[in-house]
Amino acid sequence: MGKNPITIEDVLKNLKVKRTAQREALIRSAYEFAEAAHRGQKRKSGEDYIQHALHTALNIVKMGMGSKTTSAGLLHDVPEDTAVSLEEIEKKFGHEIAFMVDGVTKLGKIKLRGTKEEMYLENLRKMFLAMASDIRVVLIKLADRLHNMETLSALPEDKRKRIALETLEVYAPIANRLGIGEMKGNLEDLAFKHLDRKNYDYVRRVQEEQYEQRKKYLDKAVEELKKELTKEDIKVIDVFGRSKHLYRLFQKLKRHDMDINKIYDLVGIRIIVPDISDCYETLGVVHKKYRPLVGRIKDYISLPKPNGYQSIHTTVFGPEGKILEIQIRTKKMDDEAEFGIAAHWIYSEQQKTLRNLIFGKKNTRIPQDELSWVKQLREWQNELGKDNVEFMEGLKIEFFKNHIFAFTPMGDVIDLPEDATPIDFAYKVHSEIGNRAIGAKADGKMVSLDYKIRNGQVIEIIISRERKNPSRDWLRFVRTSLAKSQIKKSLKKDSFV
């Protein structure tokens, strides 16, 4: 069966951007248009088709998106599943909304079949091309996919498995790369349920049992921390307990021989404070109250994750000496951890409103430059042309694997995939530095050019003015597509001289 029926009022009351008469009128108009187009259509779950459009729109507004993206979400299945054409949508709602609807329709035609390797290639290329042209198209697709996963039980088993695998292999990693943590966790859990029901039920049972056991000291820790922070005059927006998503817990259990006692962050506490300075003050208060576990403090505020995630994580010996993870972040960081790139629309709009009040400037469209890798992606795809195999290899390494940060001697941060080498680092800094590299230092010590850089290291590249071209041997060990393409370009150019 489908989820509980919702109305357009449920969508509107969840808007995170300012609810103006103009925005409301646009969303209502899109709803009325979609409702008329889908009238009489039913989903496999038995619910009216318009419910899918409404749930998609609700997921979109919960991410913090505005009226145009929400309207496109309401209309996203109209050209594909009704007699109404895209041209009619463009005539009524304009080019921008029609462009998004068309983008979602094209993505909807991607069906991942065949072997696991074949599943990716051209399909993922299309997904990422859509992301590079307008990130909102992919956000609508993620919102659409989340509701489809929530109603997946209505489909035959073979179709359920295919859609669940597609969700786990493609959609969840993209949500993660866009920094939408809550969406990623929900998609993974829903896919896990259909792909491995036995382990899903086992992990859910373990989590529920453990949560009940740990809830008593979790509640005690929340109260004690609230009291300590009030005593130190630190303003707190919220302090609450949280438990891990099931699929992530399963992955951790597998790494620890399925021993739940080795999982320290099954339950934890999140502390939300107003400003960055409050985060560090709060960390001091937490460590004064509870002894920290050595080596378990992670500062993702000064060194964010590549998808933009920011927070301080610390593991402490809490009440009764029980080990507990505590996350400390601002409200903005918390929104960005949950909604990722979508959260930028909320905060960009707030800043835009402030600028408009001060300078009287007209509204402008929100820039997409918050994620520089989206731009890199566009350039990278242009360079690779239609080589699907090379695209796939690069995609696996650069977008779906863990990333590290390294520093130049001047303190600039360079974002690299795991196992990247000094040559990858050099080409990220500048193509000429890559071409002329003859040696490297990591934290002041000489290392080989195929050395695997560790997170947080300072890398210095030694260059030769005489050297003008890279070595063909470097292609054997470099990890990034940028380094590979620059090396090939230089070697090709040299062969024509």
Active site positions, annotated: 80-81
273 contacts 235 by C-beta, under 8 angstroms: yes
What residue type is 209 in one-letter code?
E
105 contacts 79 by C-beta, under 8 angstroms: yes
- The CA distance from 156 to 144, in Å, is 19
Instruction: Give residues with Cβ within 8 angstroms of 69, minimum separation 6.
Output: 60, 100, 136, 139, 140
Count Cβ atoms below 10 Å from residue 4 Cβ, excluding itself: 9
- The CA distance from 459 to 406, in Å, is 7
* Structure letter (DSSP) for residue 76: T
- The CA distance from 93 to 71, in Å, is 9
User: Distances in Å between the alpha carbon of 391 and those of 77, 381, 394, 449, 489?
Assistant: 30, 8, 5, 24, 16
Instruction: Give residues with Cβ within 8 angstroms of 47, minimum separation 6.
Output: 1, 2, 5, 151
What residue type is 49 in one-letter code?
Y
- The residue assigned the tokens 């006692």 is 261
- The residue assigned the tokens 């009440």 is 319
352 contacts 364 by C-beta, under 8 angstroms: yes
- The CA distance from 467 to 78, in Å, is 59
58 contacts 6 by C-beta, under 8 angstroms: yes
Tokens at residue 196, please?
A: 């491995």
313 contacts 326 by C-beta, under 8 angstroms: yes
469 contacts 494 by C-beta, under 8 angstroms: yes
Distance of CA 232 to the CA centre of its chain: 35
